[in-house]
Each structure stands twice: as C-alpha cells, then as structure tokens.
Amino acid sequence: MAGATTPTPPGLSGPAVGEISPKTIKMAPKLAYRNLFHDRLSLVVTLVGIVFSLILVAVQCGLYIGSEQKIATVIDKTPADLWVVPFGTKSFDDPSLLTGREKYNILSTPGVENVQEMIVNFASWRKPGGGKKAFILVGLDTLRGGVEPWNIIEGSPAELKTPNSLAVDKSYLKDLGIDGLGAFAEVNGQRVQVTALTGGIRSFTTLPYGFTSLETARKLVNAAPEQATYQLVKLAPGADVEEVRQALIERMPDNEVLTHTEFRDRSLNYWMFNTAAGAALIAGAALGVIVGVVIVAQTLYSSTKDHLNEFATLRALGASASYIHAVILIQAVLSAIIGYIVGFTLTMLLINATKNSTLNIVMTPRLAIGLFLLTLGMCIFAAISAIFKVTRIDPAGVFSR
C-alpha cells in the first residue's frame, strides 16, 4: 500500500543503514550485557579461557622479570660509576681474581674519588648433618664503609664484621642444612657461623649467596690480602666518565673497565640470551602469549558462533552491520575486564603463596598494565575474528529455521 512503512525494532530506527544513532549506541551495551550473561555456561567457559591465558602469561613474564632481578640483584645494590673486572668476565657470577695491583692504579688516576673492593667466588658449604652444597661467596668492604647486605630480617650487618661470620638468605636454610641464626658450618674447610639472615636475596643459578666481610672472604678463598674480584670505582664530582675510563684502560690493559649499566647488561645478556636457561624463559613467555591468544580467540569465537541465529534475527529486523559489530566488540571488552579482574586476583594470590620460596615471580605496575592491554587486545582480536563470521550471515536464513 502506498505510503505504508515497515516497522523497525526499538533502538534500530532513525538513521540510515550503516549509521548508528545515539539511541542505538545506548542499546548496544545493554544487548551485549544480556547476550553475555544469558548463557552462563558459555560465559564461564569464555572466562576460564581468558583467566587461564592471563595467569599463564603473567607467570611466564613474572618469572622473566624475576630472573632479571636475580641476575642483577647484587649489581643494583652496589653503587659504582665504573667496574674494573678481570678480562673476559661474562657476568657477575663468573668470577676470577684480579692480580691485586689494581686498587692503587685506580686511586692514583685523576677523577677518581674512591674505590671499593669485592670478592665473588664459588665456595663449598659442608652441612652440619653431612653433605656439601656449592654457594656463591660475596665479600663486601664493610669495615671501610662499603655496601652491606640488605633485606636483613634477623641479626644485623654489624655482626658480619666479626671474623668467620656470614649472612645467608632464609629461603636457602633447608638447602644449606641449617636451622637459622647462630648455626655453624664449614666453608672450604673453615668453620663459620651464620650471624644474619636476609629475605628475598636469591641468585639466578639457584646457588645461595653467602655475604661476609672482605677479609673473611679472602681467607675463605685463599686470596692474597690485596686481591679482589671486582674494583668498584666512584668518580669525583664533575669528572667525565669516559675520560676516567680511558685513563684506567691505559693503566690496566689486562683488565676491563665497564660502566655500571654495561656490566649489568652484560650479565643479563649472558644468562638470558647465551644460555639455555634464559632461552627457556623467553620461549616460555612467548609461548604463553601465543597460547593465550589462541585460547581466548577460540572461546570468544565459539561464544559468538552460538549466537549466530540471534544476530541473524537482528539483521533481518534491519539492524545495521555497525550495530552488530558494536555488540560483539562490547561483549569482548566486558569479557576482557571480568577475565582480567579474576585472572589478576588469582595471579597475585599465586605470587603471594610463592614469595617465601626460591620461585621468584615478580609483578610490576608496568607488567600489570601490559597484561590488561594484552587481555583486551586478545579479546578484541577474537571479536574481530567473530565479526568476519557474523558479516557473512544471510538475514533470510532466520526465516528458514
């Protein structure tokens, strides 16, 4: 009949096809919400996929960041403008002793204000109940105001100044075969006592750190009174780092002179890119992202596919493709937000449960933001995959059911 009009569904009238009115925009989130929560079982399956992938990626990335921190933990806590290291040193815990003449060459170099010495060496720990355990002995120049062990939870740094005193991390007590503060053991055949306990100082190699004074460390590793593994150089105010560095290289051609950042990066690169352990961590983090994307894409795609008839009905009633796309994208965003909240909460519970173990999973604000963006991106990617399926819907198919 002339002048007759075809009625349109509420919320879909007004603009021309392909356009979205303000009323339609308001209706899209409501429909997406109802669509998402109508089938609770499908929603649970979708959220389980998102949560599982989020925890997988979070743990792998957290382990990677935690490994970086463990590799550089002593370097980061040791202030130095320049490090004088034995030639060919690959990382901080790849130690060998300097000849012993370096300290005076350094102090006589213009631009140098002070120098600290450090002993780093592998040592053998004999457990009181029998058996041995290798560990990394770190001798610090505490008697002359040098850096002291940090995160001490029992005992005090002052007690480490007494001969044959050590500080070990509480998480390694079982590995070392001791009960705690005051325990005795043998290091390289010499009797020592644990006079301080630290919390959270772990090494990437899983070998415990043992901190002591420079003098005790020299005695335990049979080093000469003037020998050290590293010389930590502090520059005078206004001194040019490169000028002092070149002067030190000329004075000590058989050693390497590195900036703090260079030595840190060298240690990280060695363990992360030149060893199987680092490659496994990187591969694990990458695999976690890939598996996460696949899981989320599959679950959201299946969820959208289950509602194809509803979307076909909307198309048959005159809903524009843009409206359908908006509903699917809003569903994906809602899924991402809910999945992130649940997954992040479970991840933090897991991190809290392992904080006193040797498994070092780290969560940083940057990683938390990155995980949210990754979750959002995975869900949107999955939604786009579903959109391609919905776009090919034949609206007439709804009438043939």
Residue-wise pLDDT tens digits, 41-62: 777 877 887 888 888 888 888 8
Q: Is residue 347 part of a domain?
A: yes
Q: Is residue 5 part of a domain?
A: no
Q: Is residue 194 part of a domain?
A: yes
Show Cβ contacts of residue 38 under 8 Å, excluding neighbours closer than 6 positions.
none
For residues 177 and 284, state if they share a domain.
Answer: no
Amino acid 395: pLDDT:
59
Q: Which amino acid is at 371?
A: L
Q: Is residue 39 part of a domain?
A: yes
Q: Is residue 9 part of a domain?
A: no
Q: Which of 253, 269, 291 is the last residue of a domain?
A: 253
For residues 179 and 314, state if they share a domain.
Answer: no
For residues 30 and 153, state if they share a domain.
Answer: no
For residues 123 and 232, state if they share a domain.
Answer: yes
For residues 31 and 58, state if they share a domain.
Answer: yes
Amino acid 2: pLDDT:
43
For residues 207 and 342, state if they share a domain.
Answer: no
For residues 103 and 219, state if they share a domain.
Answer: yes
Q: Which of 218, 253, 288 is the last residue of a domain?
A: 253
CB 134 within 8 A of CB 122: yes
Q: Dihedral sign, CA of 130, 71, 56, 276?
A: negative
For residues 246 and 377, state if they share a domain.
Answer: no
Q: Is residue 38 part of a domain?
A: yes
For residues 107 and 235, state if they share a domain.
Answer: yes
Count structural domains, the chain. 2
Spatial CA neighbour of 212 closest among 119, 98, 117: 119
For residues 163 and 56, state if they share a domain.
Answer: no
Report in angstroms the alpha-carbon separations of 389 from 173, 301, 305, 382: 58, 9, 8, 11
- The boundaries of the domain holding residue 183 are 88-253
pTM above 0.85, yes or no: no
Spatial CA neighbour of 235 closest among 334, 399, 116: 116
Q: Give pLDDT < 50 ranges for the chain.
A: 1-21, 23
For residues 228 and 377, state if they share a domain.
Answer: no
Amino acid 308: pLDDT:
66
For residues 125 and 197, state if they share a domain.
Answer: yes
Neighbours of 238 (CB within 10 A): 6
Q: Is residue 218 part of a domain?
A: yes
Amino acid 46: pLDDT:
76
Amino acid 389: pLDDT:
65
Cα 192 to chain centroid distance, Å, stands at 35
Q: Is residue 352 part of a domain?
A: yes
